[in-house]
Amino acid sequence: MNRLFFAVVVAVSVCFGTYCGCDAAPADVKVVVCGEARIGEEAKAEVDARQKAVGRVLTKMLTPNKDPNSLFQQMVRREKEFTGELNVMEKKEDGGKVYIISSVLVKSGSLQEALNSSISKVQEREQDSEACFLIRLRGISTAEELAGGRTVYNAYKDSFEQLGFKIVGWEDELFQEFKSYKDDDFATFSHSLEDKIKQDFPEITVAIIGEIEVTPISQDGAGLLVGGNVNIRSLDMLRQKEIATFADTYQIKWPDPKEAGMVVVHKSAINSATALADKTLSYWQNMK
């Protein structure tokens, strides 16, 4: 009999020690990018080039995030601090826009230090905070559930650790509570776990509760069309507030039907983990 869920239950301790994205300050680098703006606004094209250059280097330190409020975009908008000489290699105009292909010096060491500092400020304030992930997988086979659970765990572990969170173990009791709600609808599952944590696990200050559901749609000679539905909440248990939510749907057609479900799980895990790690850190950054 196939079980239609797989629990990912881990705990996260915020700022257990000092965060550092690398062992040594990276060397400054020159990056070739193409800045663009409307014709007559070459200065804005140079700003665009600098921001793209910072973003290119920052991707080696932090998961990219298009959300304007994300830490990634906050760092990109500080392009004046992290760039030096800009040399225009080629300039052209087309379709009402000016394009400048430029070599931009990025001060990688300064960028890494600023990133570390931004995260460390949150760590100092929230050093005793602990969080847990309670994410169920539905619609996958017994053969897939171990690999699926590992995929989700690694996605969340990597995304949260990259922002300075420390992954630690968790008690078996919480896993048992998770199992008791495994067959409930999402609203009951989510709110029941939230209430249980409030009542019996006061040491948990942040709970990330949700599910990834995989649904086969249709199959033909080109492969299997699979749908994915993601619904995950990040909760501040101490203040009883919702930090952020991630909800999305996917349709992916994959030539090998045996792999299609896991492709959906992987995409869902990466996207949700990246978004919620960044939003959780931003929430603490803005906390008075």
Distance between CA atoms of residues 249 and 198, nearest Å: 30
* CA-wise closest residue to 53 among 115, 126, 106, 119: 106
- Provide CB contacts within 8 A for 20, sequence distance 6+: 116
CATH number for 29-112: choose from 2.40.160, 3.30.1660, 3.30.30, 2.30.30. Answer: 3.30.1660
- Phi and psi (nearest 5°) for 36? -140, 155
- Environment class of residue 172 by beta-carbon count within 10 Å: exposed (0-12), middle (13-18) or buried (19+)? exposed
Q: Which H or E run includes 214?
A: strand 206-220
213's tokens: 């559901």
- Provide CB contacts within 8 A for 73, sequence distance 6+: 65, 66, 67
262's tokens: 């896991």
- Provide CB contacts within 8 A for 233, sequence distance 6+: 190, 208, 209, 210, 242, 244, 245
Query: CB of 259 within 8 A of CB of 185?
Result: no
Distance between CA atoms of residues 41 and 226, nearest Å: 46
CATH number for 7-17+127-285: choose from 3.40.50, 1.20.120, 1.10.20, 3.30.300. Answer: 3.40.50
Q: According to the model, what pLDDT value does residue 169 have? A: 55
Each of the 288 residues of the chain gets a pLDDT tens digit; together they read 222 334 454 444 443 333 444 445 567 899 999 999 999 999 999 999 999 999 999 988 877 878 887 888 989 999 999 999 999 999 999 999 999 999 999 999 999 888 877 776 655 555 455 667 888 888 888 778 778 888 888 888 888 877 776 665 554 566 667 777 778 898 999 998 888 888 887 777 788 899 999 998 998 888 889 999 999 999 988 788 899 999 999 998 999 888 888 999 999 999 999 889 888 887 877 765
> Does 29-112 match 7-17+127-285 at the fold level?
no
Give the start-to-end residue ranges of the domains of the chain: 7-17+127-285, 29-112
Q: Using alpha carbons only, give the angle 11, 15, 17 rounded to the nearest 5 degrees.
A: 115
State the virtual CA torsion across 39, 44, 49, 54 in degrees, nearest 10.
Answer: -160
Q: According to the model, what pLDDT value does residue 130 have? A: 65
* CA-wise closest residue to 10 among 144, 145, 209, 202: 209
* Whole-structure pTM value: 0.66
Q: According to the model, what pLDDT value does residue 178 have? A: 74
Q: Which H or E run includes 54?
A: helix 42-58
